[in-house]
C-alpha cells in the first residue's frame, strides 16, 4: 500500500451506501425482478448491476386495479425498500407483491422499525418528524394512522402479521443497524454477535439535535440480554413464495457486515453463513483485486509466525471457517476485570505478535527518528481483529499494511481499542500504564495522528464530512440534551443558558482555575470584569490566572450575596453546586465548553439597527468577519463593504500579534493595537474585537457572538477546513458566505514589495 489515494466524491459514496440493504444479497443473474418505488435506495440501479432483468413500478401503479393480475407469477424477485411505511394499504400492497412472484420467488422487503433503538435515544420519527411518535404508535396522529401524508412506521410483529395475513409464511427476518438508509450490519433473527458492536456500528439520525443517549453504549447490553433484535432500527424480510422452507432456501446469512463508506475499490461484505463458513467478498467489481491481496497478507503474516485463521480464495471470495469465540478485545476487557496481572501478561503477548509481524527498516519520519519502522506494518493487527481460542490468539481480517511505518502506531491502536469506551477499565488500570510500559509517551500525539490519518483515508471521513455532521451525534449536543433532562425548563435556562444575566449590577466571580475558567476568560474577559477566581485547592490561593487573583471560597462570607454572581467553570460541577448552596450563595450559573451565548444577551448594549428601526431590510442581521488586517488595503475594504451591505450589524475579529505568529508563522508589519484601531475607524464596521489566541476558531466565535453569517474571502471557499466551518454554522442555522478575492492587492503582495524595497 504505497499511497492513500482516493477517487470518489461524497455523492458517489453515499449512492453506494444507500444500496446496502440488498447489495450483499446473492441474486441469480438473468432472472426477472420487479423493483417497487425505491428511488431513495437506488434499488433499480442496484438490481441492474446484479445482472437482473428489471421492471420498475411505483406503489400507486402496482395497486391499480388489474395490474397485479396482468403480471401475476412473472417475477423471480420483488424488491421494495421503505415502501410499506408510505403506503395507505400495506396488506393490499403485500398481496399484490406476492401475486406477481413465481413459485419459489423471493420477496425482499426493507422496513423501518417504529420501536427502533434510535427512537428511544431521542431521534425524530422518520415519517412524522417528531420525537417518540412511533413509540407511542402515533397516538398524536389523525385517526387514519397509516393514511397520514407523512407515512407510518411499523414494528416487526405488525409486518409479520401483514405477511401471514396474505399467506406469506416462509420468511426470514434480518435486523439492520444503524438504519435502513445507511446499513452497516445485518443480523438474522435469534443470532447474537460475539464482538464489540459499539466500535463497529456508527449510529445515524434523522434529527441528531434531539438525541440524548449514546445508542452504541446499549448494543452490548442488548446482546447480553438477548433483546437486540427487538430494538433493531430497521428490518429486512426475505420471503419465499409458495414453497417449503429448505436448508438452502434462504440466503443462509447469520450476519452481514458492510463497509460501503470505503468506496468501490475497498467496499466489502463480510458474511457469516449458517453452514459454518465466513465469506468476505467485494461489493463492486473494482474490489476483487483487494480480496486477492488479503490472501497474500495471510501468507506473509504466517511466514513471520503470526497465527492466522485458515482461509482460501474461492471465485474471488475470501473464505474462512466460523470461529465460535470471543474477539481478543472482549477477552482482554473481561480479563482485566478479573485479574490485573494476567491482563498485563496477555497484553504483552499480543504486542509480541505485532512486533514479529514484519522486518524493521530505517526510520522515515524525521520528527520521530527514534521510532522503529517496519517494512510492512499491518495496521489492523489489533484485538478487534483477532479471536481468543483455547488460550491462544488467532488473527484474521488483515486487509491493509503500510510500508515503512512506525510499528508503535499499531501498538498504540492495540492499547486504544482495548480501552476505548471502557471507563471501568481505566479505573482498574489506567492505559497510561501501557503507554509508559511500551514507550509510547514520547511520540504519543504523532503516533495517534498516524492512526487517525489511516482511518480518515479508509473510511473517507473528510469526503463524507458534511454527511457525518448532519447524521452523527455530537458530544456537545448530546450532553446539553442530557443536562436539560436533569432540570426543569426554568432551572436549566437559569443554570446553563442565561448565565450572563444579572451581571450589570453584580460582581462576576468564577469558580475554578482550569481549562473551563481559562476558556471563559479568553472568550468573555474583554466584556465582563472578573473580580476573582475561587478554588478549593489551597495551593492555588494567592496565585493569578491571566492576571486575576485566585482566592479561597471562604472569602464569600465577607461579601453581600446579592452583590455578586458566581459562574462555575468546572467539568464536575455538582460538588461545587452543593458547596455553594450550603454557603447560602443565591446567584450562580454553570459554564460548559459548548455554551452558546443567548441572542438576547448579545443584543444588550449594542445598537443594532434593522428594518424595525427604519433601516433597509438586509439578508442577515448580525455578520462576522475574521482577519489579520495587516497593511490595511483595498481588498480589506471591499470585504468589509460587501459584508456590511448584507447585514445590519458587522462584528470584525482581529487576530492578535501572538495569533499571527502562531497561525501564520510570520511577524505582522503593524502591531495589533494599531490594526484594530484602523478596522474600528472603517465606516462599515460596527464593532471590532480581539480574537483569542487559543479559542479562535469559527465555532468559538459563533458561541460568543451568535451571528447569522460569517463572511470570508473566496480564496478559502474550496478549503476543506473552511467548508467544515461552513457545515458547522449551517447545522446551527447560521451560514458561511465567500466573497470574491481582490486579485490585484493583498497584504502578502505588499509585504513582498516592501521586502524588495519597491515600496
Q: How far apart are CA 586 and CA 756, in angstroms?
A: 64
Angle, nearest 10°, between helix axes 340-355 and 328-338?
Answer: 150
Predicted local distance difference test score (pLDDT) of residue 127: 86
5 within domain boundaries = no
Please answer whether residues 231 and 135 qualify as being in contact, where contact means their C-beta atoms are separated by less than 8 angstroms: no
Predicted local distance difference test score (pLDDT) of residue 142: 56
Which CATH number fits the domain that encloses residue 737? 3.40.50.620
One domain, residues 401 and 387: yes
337 within domain boundaries = yes
Determine the average pLDDT of the residues in 348-376. Answer: 90
Least confident of 102-111, 213-222, 393-402, 733-742: 733-742
CA angle 589, 595, 598 (to 5 degrees): 85
Instruction: Tell me phi and psi for residue 62, to 5 degrees.
Output: -65, -30
Q: How far apart are CA 59 and CA 83, in angstroms?
A: 7
Confidence band for 226, pLDDT divided at 50, 70 and 90: very high
Please answer whether residues 270 and 256 qualify as being in contact, where contact means their C-beta atoms are separated by less than 8 angstroms: yes
Q: How far apart are CA 42 and CA 39, in angstroms?
A: 5
> Contacts by 602-611 with C-beta closer than 8 Å and gap 24+?
602/705, 602/706, 606/649, 606/686, 606/687, 608/648, 608/649, 608/686, 609/648, 609/649, 610/648
pLDDT above 90 covers a percentage of the chain that reads: 74
Q: Which of 469, 497, 512 is the last residue of a domain?
A: 469
Asked if the model's pLDDT at residue 666 lies above 90, the reply is: no
Asked if the model's pLDDT at residue 612 lies above 60, the reply is: no
Q: Classify residue 665 by burial, with Cβ atoms within 10 Å: 0-12, 13-18, 19+.
A: exposed
Angle, nearest 10°, between helix axes 340-355 and 407-419?
Answer: 150
Predicted local distance difference test score (pLDDT) of residue 759: 45
What is the overall mean pLDDT for the chain? 90
Asked if the model's pLDDT at residue 435 lies above 90, the reply is: yes
One domain, residues 530 and 650: no
pLDDT above 70 covers a percentage of the chain that reads: 94
Q: Which of 577, 595, 613 is the last residue of a domain?
A: 595
Confidence band for 145, pLDDT divided at 50, 70 and 90: very low
Confidence band for 234, pLDDT divided at 50, 70 and 90: very high
Instruction: Tell me phi and psi for residue 621, to 5 degrees.
Output: -90, -60
Residue with cell 480501552: 419
Determine the average pLDDT of the residues in 541-568. Answer: 96
Asked if the model's pLDDT at residue 451 lies above 80, the reply is: yes
152 within domain boundaries = yes
Asked if the model's pLDDT at residue 244 lies above 50, the reply is: no
Confidence band for 243, pLDDT divided at 50, 70 and 90: low
DSSP string, 121-158: TTPBPTTTSSBTTTTTTSTTS-TTGGGSTT---B-HHH
264 within domain boundaries = no
Domain that holds residue 665: 600-755
Determine the average pLDDT of the residues in 405-409. Answer: 94
Asked if the model's pLDDT at residue 747 lies above 90, the reply is: no
Q: Classify 299 as helix, strand or coil.
A: helix
One domain, residues 130 and 46: yes
Asked if the model's pLDDT at residue 247 lies above 60, the reply is: no
Which CATH number fits the domain that encloses residue 552? 3.40.50.20
The larger pLDDT score, comparing residue 151 to residue 536, is at: 536
One domain, residues 382 and 526: no
Asked if the model's pLDDT at residue 144 lies above 50, the reply is: no
Predicted local distance difference test score (pLDDT) of residue 614: 57
pLDDT per position as a tens digit, 315-352: 999 999 999 999 999 999 999 999 999 999 999 999 99
One domain, residues 116 and 241: yes
Predicted local distance difference test score (pLDDT) of residue 752: 53
DSSP string, 199-211: GT-----S-GGG-
Q: How far apart are CA 93 and CA 76, in angstroms?
A: 17
pLDDT per position as a tens digit, 469-522: 889 998 888 888 888 888 998 999 999 999 999 998 999 999 999 999 999 999
Predicted local distance difference test score (pLDDT) of residue 1: 46
Predicted local distance difference test score (pLDDT) of residue 743: 52
One domain, residues 482 and 613: no
Asked if the model's pLDDT at residue 126 lies above 90, the reply is: no
Q: Which of 595, 617, 645 is the last residue of a domain?
A: 595
One domain, residues 433 and 481: no
Asked if the model's pLDDT at residue 209 lies above 60, the reply is: yes
Predicted local distance difference test score (pLDDT) of residue 740: 83
> Contacts by 582-587 with C-beta closer than 8 Å and gap 24+?
583/553, 583/556, 583/557, 585/556, 585/561, 586/561, 586/562, 587/502, 587/506, 587/561, 587/562
Predicted local distance difference test score (pLDDT) of residue 669: 86
Predicted local distance difference test score (pLDDT) of residue 753: 45
Asked if the model's pLDDT at residue 246 lies above 60, the reply is: no
Which CATH number fits the domain that encloses residue 224? 3.40.50.150
Least confident of 155-169, 412-426, 656-670: 656-670
263 within domain boundaries = no
One domain, residues 608 and 654: yes
One domain, residues 522 and 637: no
Q: How many domains does the chain have?
A: 4
Predicted local distance difference test score (pLDDT) of residue 7: 72
One domain, residues 734 and 686: yes
Cα dihedral angle (328, 331, 335, 338), rounded to 10 degrees?
A: 180
Determine the average pLDDT of the residues in 389-417. Answer: 94
Amino acid at each position: 500500500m504505497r499511497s492513500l489515494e482516493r477517487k470518489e466524491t461524497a455523492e458517489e459514496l453515499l449512492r453506494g451506501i444507500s444500496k446496502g440493504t440488498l447489495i450483499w444479497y446473492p441474486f441469480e443473474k438473468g432472472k426477472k425482478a420487479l423493483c417497487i418505488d425505491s428511488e431513495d435506495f437506488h434499488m433499480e440501479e442496484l438490481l441492474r448491476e446484479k445482472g437482473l432483468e428489471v421492471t420498475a413500478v411505483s406503489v400507486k401503479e402496482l395497486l391499480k386495479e388489474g395490474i397485479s393480475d396482468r403480471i401475476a407469477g412473472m417475477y423471480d424477485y420483488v424488491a421494495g425498500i421503505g415502501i410499506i411505511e408510505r403506503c395507505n394499504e400495506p396488506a393490499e400492497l403485500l398481496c399484490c407483491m406476492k401475486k406477481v412472484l413465481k413459485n419459489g420467488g423471493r420477496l425482499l422487503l426493507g422496513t423501518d422499525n417504529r420501536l427502533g433503538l434510535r427512537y428511544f435515544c431521542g431521534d425524530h420519527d422518520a415519517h412524522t418528524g417528531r420525537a417518540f411518535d412511533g413509540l407511542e404508535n402515533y397516538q398524536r396522529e389523525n385517526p387514519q394512522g397509516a393514511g397520514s401524508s407523512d407515512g407510518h412506521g411499523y414494528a416487526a410483529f405488525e409486518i409479520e402479521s401483514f405477511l401471514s395475513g396474505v399467506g406469506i409464511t416462509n420468511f426470514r427476518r434480518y435486523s439492520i443497524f444503524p438504519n435502513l438508509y445507511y446499513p452497516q450490519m445485518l443480523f438474522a433473527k435469534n443470532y447474537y454477535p460475539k464482538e464489540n458492536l459499539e466500535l463497529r456500528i456508527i449510529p445515524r439520525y434523522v434529527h441528531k439535535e434531539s438525541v440524548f443517549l449514546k445508542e452504541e453504549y446499549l448494543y452490548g447490553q442488548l446482546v447480553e440480554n438477548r433483546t437486540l433484535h427487538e430494538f433493531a432500527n430497521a428490518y429486512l424480510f426475505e420471503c419465499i413464495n409458495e414453497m417449503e422452507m429448505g436448508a438452502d432456501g434462504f440466503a443462509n446469512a447469520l450476519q452481514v457486515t458492510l463497509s460501503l463508506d470505503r468506496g468501490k475499490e475497498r467496499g466489502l461484505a463480510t458474511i457469516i453463513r449458517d453452514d459454518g463458513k465466513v465469506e468476505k467478498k467485494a461489493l463492486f467489481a473494482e474490489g476483487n483485486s483487494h480480496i486477492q491481496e488479503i490472501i497474500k497478507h495471510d501468507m506473509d503474516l504466517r511466514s513471520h509466525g503470526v497465527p492466522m485463521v485458515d482461509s482460501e480464495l474461492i471465485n474471488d471470495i475470501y473464505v474462512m471457517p466460523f470461529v465460535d469465540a470471543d474477539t481478543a478485545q472482549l477477552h482482554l476487557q473481561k480479563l482485566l476485570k478479573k485479574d490485573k496481572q494476567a491482563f498485563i501478561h496477555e497484553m504483552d503477548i499480543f504486542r509480541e505478535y505485532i512486533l514479529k509481524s514484519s522486518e524493521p527498516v530505517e526510520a522515515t519520519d524525521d520528527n520521530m527518528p527514534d521510532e522503529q519502522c517496519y517494512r510492512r506494518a499491518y495496521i489492523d493487527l489489533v484485538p478487534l481483529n483477532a479471536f481468543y481460542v483455547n488460550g491462544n490468539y488467532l488473527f484474521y481480517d488483515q486487509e491493509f499494511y503500510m510500508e515503512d511505518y512506525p510499528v508503535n502506531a499499531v501498538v498504540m491502536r492495540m492499547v486504544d481499542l482495548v480501552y476505548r469506551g471502557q471507563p471501568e477499565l481505566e479505573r482498574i488500570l489506567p492505559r497510561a500504564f501501557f503507554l509508559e510500559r511500551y514507550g509510547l509517551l514520547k511520540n504519543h500525539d504523532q503516533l495517534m495522528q498516524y492512526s487517525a490519518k489511516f482511518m480518515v483515508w479508509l473510511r473517507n471521513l473528510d469526503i463524507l464530512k458534511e454527511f457525518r455532521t448532519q447524521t452523527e451525534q455530537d458530544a456537545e449536543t448530546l450532553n446539553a440534551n442530557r443536562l436539560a433532562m436533569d432540570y426543569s425548563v426554568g432551572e436549566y435556562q437559569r443554570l446553563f443558558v442565561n448565565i450572563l444575566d444579572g451581571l450589570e449590577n453584580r460582581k462576576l466571580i468564577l469558580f475554578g482555575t482550569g481549562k473551563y475558567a481559562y476558556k471563559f476568560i479568553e472568550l468573555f474577559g474583554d466584556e465582563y470584569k472578573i473580580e476573582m477566581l475561587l478554588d478549593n485547592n489551597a495551593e492555588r490561593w494567592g496565585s493569578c490566572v491571566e492576571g486575576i487573583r485566585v482566592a479561597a471560597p471562604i472569602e464569600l462570607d465577607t461579601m453581600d450575596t446579592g452583590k455578586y454572581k458566581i459562574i462555575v467553570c468546572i467539568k464536575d460541577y455538582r460538588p461545587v453546586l452543593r458547596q455553594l448552596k450550603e454557603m447560602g450563595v443565591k446567584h450562580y450559573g454553570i459554564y460548559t465548553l459548548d455554551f452558546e451565548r443567548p441572542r438576547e444577551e448579545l443584543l444588550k448594549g449594542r445598537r443594532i439597527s434593522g428594518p424595525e428601526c427604519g433601516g433597509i431590510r438586509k439578508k442577515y442581521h448580525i455578520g462576522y468577519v475574521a482577519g489579520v488586517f495587516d497593511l490595511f488595503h483595498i481588498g480589506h475594504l471591499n470585504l468589509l463593504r460587501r459584508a456590511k451591505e448584507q447585514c445590519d450589524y458587522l462584528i470584525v475579529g482581529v487576530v492578535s500579534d501572538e495569533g499571527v505568529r502562531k497561525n501564520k508563522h510570520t511577524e505582522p508589519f503593524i502591531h495589533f493595537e494599531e490594526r484594530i484601531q484602523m478596522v474600528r475607524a472603517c465606516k462599515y464596521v460596527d464593532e471590532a474585537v480581539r480574537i483569542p489566541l487559543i479559542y479562535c476558531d469559527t465555532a468559538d466565535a459563533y458561541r460568543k457572538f451568535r451571528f447569522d453569517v460569517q463572511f470570508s474571502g473566496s480564496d478559502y471557499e474550496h478549503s476543506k477546513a473552511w467548508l467544515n466551518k461552513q457545515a458547522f454554522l449551517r447545522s446551527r442555522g447560521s451560514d458561511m458566505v465567500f466573497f470574491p478575492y481582490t486579485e490585484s492587492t493583498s497584504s502578502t503582495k505588499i509585504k513582498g514589495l516592501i521586502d524588495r524595497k519597491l515600496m
